[in-house]
A and B are shown apart, each in its own frame.
Chain A
Amino acid sequence: MAEIEFVHVSKSYGDTPAVRDLNLKVGEGEFVVLVGPSGCGKTTALRMVAGLEEITEGEIRIGDRVVNELAPRDRDIAMVFQNYALYPHKTVYENLAFGLRMRKVPKDEQRRRVEEIARKLGLADMLNRRPSQLSGGQRQRVAMGRAIVREPKAFLMDEPLSNLDAKLRVQMRAEIARIQKALEVTTLYVTHDQVEAMTMGDRVAVMRDGILQQVDTPQRLYDLPANLFVASFVGSPPMNLFEADVESDGAQLVFGDTRLDLGARSLRDYKGRRVVVGIRPEEVREASGWDGAHVGGRVLLVEALGAEQLVHIEIAATPLERADLVDAAAQPPGPSLGVEELERSVTLLGRFDRHLLLTPGEAVEVAIDPRLLHFFDLETGAALPTADVPAVAGVAG
């Protein structure tokens, strides 16, 4: 077991930077998930650790060794590939034993370890089959087994679940997390799926365009996103975002016809300026019984999910113009019909109790608790410090 550490690591292909000045430390036995949209450099970062990609600048350490110049086989790590990369001409047994054979482990020791892993992963009956005779889930387990059997210093996993169907993915997600906890092996896991990242990682590192945005525990990432990108990327459905003006010496927020008293969260440094306001769908509430500010809106759409319902509510506010600051996949739905007057409206996504009866077209009052709002700089996208919450460290760890 060992730590993995990126020290000012950069990678570029010609003039195109893929990873920029990455600093990240994966502690011993820790499970860190690198997450971000496709093309954000997360796989490149992982492949640099494996030795499959040269490092343009900086240092990668595994344990106390700098591995920049080390061949993949000398790094003592195991990697699970997105497409499993099982050797098609070898049986499951041979696939599992390949790494041991390469490391000249004695034959009977090989057999003992392979059989033990096969039993643990439920592959014992399939040792003589070839990969083409296995189902997707079984192949995935062989790929995992091949990594585990070597007892390496660290696991590297490159989207190992993305080829599985939804049900199996949820099952294997728990399985991998369980195996990792049991073996206590340092793990760096790459995914583009933020749900996977949130459920599996001890800590989650969010990347975008080759730049690390924030590293923290899943909960803190969710509660205190460092910038607009993290706010829009983490959480499903994504955070509602719109623009608002800070008035009255930073004590009030104005959007549409709404004046919201910020109370303890005053934005004194931003008085007279426009900021981005974010609110999680579960914090959007129906206003009955709420004595704070009410926001008038109209129900556009109700999506019943069984246990709860997602309600699209149109309110008067300015939509966020800076699409470049948020995750492309989390773009808020545009103005409903493209009608001129509707362009000053924003669709809030609310996660409501299923017993609340709402129908499309109905007028509704929404309660917004200023204590639950997130504020971001309109220019930089950085989270704003408020009187009660000091600045969030962007990249910590």
Chain B
Amino acid sequence: MSSVTQIAPTPVAPAVTRPRSRKRLRKAGWNVLGLVVLAVMVFPVYWMVSTAFKPGHDILSYTPQWIPTHPVLSNFTDAIHQQFFWNAVKNSLIVTTVVVVLSLVLAFLAALALAKFSFYGRKPFIVVILGVQMVPLAALIIPLYILMSRVHQVDKLSGVIVMYLTFVLPFAVWTLRGFLLGVPKELEESAMVDGATRFGAFVRILLPLLGPGLVATSIFAFIQAWNEFIIAYVFLHTPEKQTLMVWLASFTTLRGTDWGPLMAGATLCSLPVIVFFVLVQRKIAFGLTAGAVKG
């Protein structure tokens, strides 16, 4: 006999553990699903990178080589020495930089107007911005092509830049407007009462608080402009004027696809996006306005 005095009956074990184990099971199920999704997302990237390092016979062998056993760099040198590579790099950089900068400036000003000033037709305008994004791009390509050819912008980088802006801007304006609405108007007002001009309040108070929004928007614009294929493919005919994504397609010819250099080229093309993201992601500190207002 135990000397411990029992003052309450021990709880009936199954009644407590059953719901808990069911919960744990459900959690495990979700985790497995998550891992599967992750694998599906990551595998193509892995396959691209690993193929880029494989010699030709390994790439085409019937038994898949999961890990490149004899890694080579020849695919990369082949890709870099492929015709028009440096042209394509230059074109892509020009297009992307201009689109990012222009979309930031224009979208910011537009969002400012939409968020802070009231004017006739503001509501319909906001709805149109949202509505425009619903139209599938493929449906617009032919009319846009005709339109752009009339103003002699086909086969020109400037034409592609304008095209990219048309679908980057609505999203950018919409996103930045959201960020702007998140900054209480009292902050600017307080700065103005404290002695700042309207512009001063804007630069000293509003702009620093919008950092995360500007970063998010620039990442979006960068990815859109850098990765875009269809428009560039349709609009840019001359090889010297093509962007990297169109250049990549040149590995697929009537005689077949040169997989090794293609994958090496694709790997090279994805690097700038990753580098850009790593550079700016630290600035995405959400909740920066915490503590501005209320207790």
Residue of A nearest to B287 (CB): A132
Contact present for A87 and B295 (CB under 8 Å): no
Query: Which residues does chain B contribute within 8 Å of A146, judged by CB atoms?
Result: 190, 194
B241-261 vs A, CB cutoff 8 Å, 1 = contact: the mask equals: 000000000000000000000
In contact, A130 and B291 (Cβ under 8 angstroms): yes
Verify A83–B186 contact, CB threshold 8 A: yes
What's the minimum C-beta distance from B26 to chain A, rounded to whole angstroms? 36
Does chain A have a CB within 8 A of B289? yes
With A72-B189, A81-B189 given, is the CB distance from A86 to B291 under 8 Å? yes
Is there contact, CB below 8 Å, between B295 and A150? Answer: no
Closest B residue by C-beta to A76: B195
In the bound complex, do residue A83 and residue B294 qualify as a contact, i.e. CB atoms below 8 Å apart?
yes
Complex Cα distance, B195 from A87, in Å, reads 14
- Of all chain A residues, the one with the shortest Cβ separation from B209 is A89
A85-B184, A89-B209 as given contacts; A133 in contact with B291, CB under 8 Å: yes
**Which of chain B's residues has its CB closest to A129's CB?**
B291
Instruction: List which B179-204 residues lie within 8 A (CB) of chain A.
Output: 184, 186-187, 189-197, 200
A78 within 8 Å of B by Cβ?
A: yes
Quick check: B194 and A131 within 8 Å, CB to CB?
no
Asked if B292 CB lies within 8 Å of chain A CBs, one says yes
Does A71 contact B290, Cβ atoms closer than 8 Å?
Answer: no
Say yes or no: A79 contacts B291, CB within 8 Å. Answer: no
What's the minimum C-beta distance from A157 to chain B, rounded to whole angstroms? Answer: 12
Assess the B193–A102 pair: CB atoms within 8 A. Answer: no
Check if A77 is an interface residue, CB within 8 A of chain B. Answer: yes
> Taking the nearest CB of chain A, how far is it from the CB of B25, in angstroms?
39
User: Distance (Å) between the CB of B210 and the closest chain A CB?
Assistant: 10
Residues of chain B lying within 8 A (CB to CB) of residue A345: none
Could you say which of B190, B192, B289 contacts A71, with CB atoms under 8 Å apart?
Answer: B192
Q: How many A-B residue pairs have CB under 8 A?
A: 95
Q: Per DSSP, are chain B's interface residues mostly helix, strand or loop, or mixed?
A: loop
The residues of A that contact B292 with a CB separation of less than 8 Å are 83-88, 131
Tell me if B293 and A102 are in contact (CB < 8 A).
no
Asked if B223 is at the interface of the complex by the 8 Å CB criterion, the answer is no
Instruction: Given A83-B186, A89-B208, verify A78-B294 contact (CB < 8 Å).
Output: no
Q: Is A348 an interface residue (CB 8 A)?
A: no
B205 at the interface (CB under 8 A from A): yes
Quick check: which of A21-29, A135-143, A221-229 contacts chain B, the rest being far away?
A: A135-143
Question: In the bound complex, how far is the Cα of B192 from the Cα of A140, in angstroms?
Answer: 19
A87 to B191, Cβ gap below 8 A?
yes
| Nearest CB of A to B204, in Å | 8
Query: Is the Cβ of A140 less than 8 Å from the Cβ of B295?
Result: yes
- A134: chain B residues at CB < 8 Å are 291
Residue on B with the closest CB to A105?
B195
Task: Provide the bound-state CA to CA distance between A146 and B294, in Å.
Answer: 16
Contact B291 A150 (CB under 8 A): no
CA distance A314 to B293 in the complex (A): 46
**CB of A130, distance to nearest CB on chain B (Å):** 6
Q: Is A323 an interface residue (CB 8 A)?
A: no
The reply to whether B194 and A135 form a contact with Cβ atoms under 8 Å apart is no
Whether B196 and A81, one on each chain, are in contact in the complex, defined by CB atoms closer than 8 angstroms, is no
A235 at interface, CB cutoff 8 A: no
Q: Is A248 close to B, CB under 8 A?
A: no
Given contacts A52-B189, A89-B208, contact A73 B197 (CB under 8 A): yes
- Chain B residues positioned under 8 Å from A82 (CB to CB): 186
Residues of A within 8 A of B289 (CB): 88
Taking CB atoms and an 8 Å cut-off, the chain A residues in 362-376 that contact chain B are none
For A73, give its contact among B194, B205, B293 (CB under 8 Å): B194
Size range of the interface on B? 20 to 34
Q: Are A85 and B209 in contact (CB-based, < 8 A)? A: no
A170 to B25, CA, bound (A): 52
Q: Which residues of A contact B184 (CB under 8 A)?
A: 83, 85
Contact assessment for A85 and B291 in the assembled complex, using a CB-CB cutoff below 8 Å: no
Interface membership of chain A positions 89-112, coded 1 if the CB is closer than 8 angstroms to chain B and 0 otherwise = 100000000110011000000000
| A50 proximal to B (CB < 8 A) | yes
User: Which of B186, B195, B291 is within 8 Å of A139, CB to CB?
Assistant: B291
Neighbouring B residues of A140 by C-beta, 8 Å: 295
Q: How far is the CB of B205 from chain A (nearest CB, A)?
A: 6
Residues of A within 8 A of B294 (CB): 83-84, 136, 163
Asked if B193 and A77 sit within 8 Å, CB to CB, the answer is yes
Nearest-CB distance from A93 to chain B (Å)? 15
List the A side residues contacting B194 at CB < 8 Å.
73, 78, 98-99, 102, 146, 150
Task: Give chain B residues whose Cβ lies under 8 Å from the Cβ of A36.
Answer: none
Q: Say how far A89's CB is from chain B's closest CB, in angstroms.
A: 5
Tell me if B144 counts as interface (CB < 8 A to partner A): no
B137 close to A (CB within 8 Å): no
A83-B184, A85-B186, A88-B209 known; A52 vs B192 contact (CB < 8 Å): yes
Does B288 lie at the interface of the complex (its beta carbon under 8 Å from any beta carbon of A)?
Answer: yes
Quick check: A51 and B295 within 8 Å, CB to CB? no
Which of A81, A102, A130, A163 lies in contact with B186, CB distance below 8 A? A81
Task: Assess whether B208 is in contact with A72, with CB atoms less than 8 Å apart.
Answer: no
User: A88 and B192 in contact (CB under 8 A), knowing A73-B197, A163-B294?
Assistant: no
A177 at the interface (CB under 8 A from B): no
Chain A contacts for B191, CB-based, 8 A: 87, 98, 102
B-side contacts of A87, CB under 8 Å: 187, 190-191, 205, 292
**Interfacial chain B residues near A85, Cβ < 8 Å:** 184, 186-187, 189-190, 292-293
Q: From residue A99, how far is it (CB to closest CB) to chain B in Å?
A: 4
CB pairs A–B below 8 angstroms (15 shown):
A52-B193, A75-B193, A79-B190, A81-B186, A83-B184, A85-B184, A85-B293, A86-B292, A88-B292, A102-B200, A103-B195, A130-B291, A132-B291, A136-B294, A150-B194
Q: Give the 3 A-B CB pairs with smallest separation, nearest first.
A: A136-B295, A132-B291, A102-B195
Q: Known contacts A87-B191, A103-B195, A130-B291; can you find 17 more A-B pairs with CB under 8 A?
A: A71-B192, A72-B193, A82-B186, A84-B292, A85-B184, A85-B186, A85-B189, A85-B190, A86-B291, A86-B293, A87-B190, A88-B209, A89-B209, A102-B200, A146-B190, A146-B194, A163-B295
> Which of A's residues lie within 8 Å of B, judged by CB?
50-52, 71-73, 75, 77-79, 81-89, 98-99, 102-103, 130-137, 139-140, 146, 150, 163-164
